[in-house]
Amino acid sequence: MKAARVLKCPIIIVGAGRSGTTMIKDALSYHPDICATPYELNYLWRYGNSRLSHDMLDPEQHLSPRKAKYIRGKLEKMLILSGKQYLVEKTVANVLRLSYVHGICPDGKVIHIIRDGRAVTASAMIRWKARATSSYLMSKGLTIPPLDIPRVGLSFLLNRIKRRIRKRDYIQSWGPRWPGFDEDVARLPLMEICAMQWKKSIESASSQRHTLPKGQYTEIRYEEFVTDPSRGFDQLSEFLSIDFSAPAFKSQIEEGITTSSLDKWKTSFSGQDMNRLYSIIGQTLGTLGYE
């Protein structure tokens, strides 16, 4: 019965990196019936496609019954081992391939977290410069399908070499990758790369959301959610058909959700930076209703 649940209805959280996807995943994991994957599973979702230099997978080109069976099997195993009823998974790169994810989990429910692109850009720039710990790298390594380990390992070493050659204080690759990503990273400043990541994430999800059946896709605004988490979980309760009304659960999640990061981006950019930022994401911000 549990195996059937993960095949039918995993909870898939997507969004541009630094949009609050981890916050939502961690909050959902407090529910006694929900199991959350401990790490992002991009290597698993890319099973059989590790040769590609981007994450924008298309079900017609890149998915086969064998690949889908392997990925579903791994997700199913995680749920069975947890002893829970529902699985929640958060891999931000999935925001570029909603149709592909739907081909693997046709009854999965997708939660798309949308956050102000200026805040995302500022936060992502910090994340690009962060140093990964050895324990984190080892844990991520456990998510790599065995046949992909040599290729992933070689890519990791090449990225470290490129970083040294280019004398940069940030890593060669982080977050969702689009076709031409490596070329853009080589020629553009970090701020512009982070802004483009947000823009492409929003545009890709917007263009693919209509391929999902009614009732299997919802959007949450980060700013509204952290301001009123109780209302946000009422929305998720209706969407997921899971009861979040227990006082202990609500109390636990609301303690960990704050508005402290809402306006940090306002001190992150110079006037010149803001002009360049708006030239990249201004139209998308306007479409979403951000000032």
Confidence (pLDDT) at 152? 62
Rg (CA), the chain: 19
Cβ neighbours of residue 189 closer than 8 Å, sequence gap 6 or more: none
Axis crossing angle, helix 21-29 with helix 229-240, rounded to the nearest 10: 70
Which residues 6+ apart lie within 8 Å of 241 measured at CB? Answer: none
Q: What φ, ψ does residue 205 adopt, rounded to 5°?
A: -65, -40
What domain count does the chain have? 1
Distance CA 100, CA 82 (A): 26
Q: What are phi and psi of 89, to 5 degrees?
A: -130, 135
Per-residue pLDDT at 6: 44
CATH of residue 159's domain is 3.40.50.300
Q: How far apart are CA 54 and CA 62, in angstroms?
A: 12
11 φ/ψ angles, rounded to the nearest 5 degrees: -100, 115
The length of the chain in residues reads 291
Are the CB atoms for 17 and 120 separated by under 8 Å? yes
- Residue 184 structure tokens: 């853009």
- Helix then strand count (H, E) for the chain reads 15, 5
Mapped onto helix, strand or coil, the DSSP state of residue 84 is coil
Which residues span the domain enclosing 215? 2-288
Distance (Å, whole) CA 27 – CA 225: 12
Q: Find out whether 244 and 250 touch, Cβ atoms under 8 Å.
A: yes
**How confident is the model at residue 256, as a pLDDT?**
73
DSSP string covering 185-213: HHHS-HHHHHHHHHHHHHHHHHHHGGGSP
**Quick one: pLDDT at residue 258?**
85
From first to last of the 291 residues of the chain, give the pLDDT tens digit: 344 444 457 999 999 999 999 999 999 999 999 999 988 999 999 999 989 999 999 999 999 999 999 999 999 999 999 999 999 999 999 999 999 999 999 999 999 999 999 999 999 999 988 766 566 556 666 667 776 667 666 666 666 666 566 666 666 678 999 999 999 998 999 999 999 999 999 999 999 999 999 999 999 999 999 999 989 999 999 999 999 988 878 777 777 788 888 889 999 999 999 999 999 999 999 999 998
pLDDT on residue 40: 92
**What pLDDT, on the 0 to 100 scale, is given for residue 169?**
60
Angle formed at CA 93 by CA 89 and CA 99, multiple of 5 degrees: 85
Q: Is 88 strand, coil or helix?
A: strand
Cα 34 to Cα 13: distance, rounded to the nearest angstrom: 13
Pairing of strands 11-14, 86-90: parallel
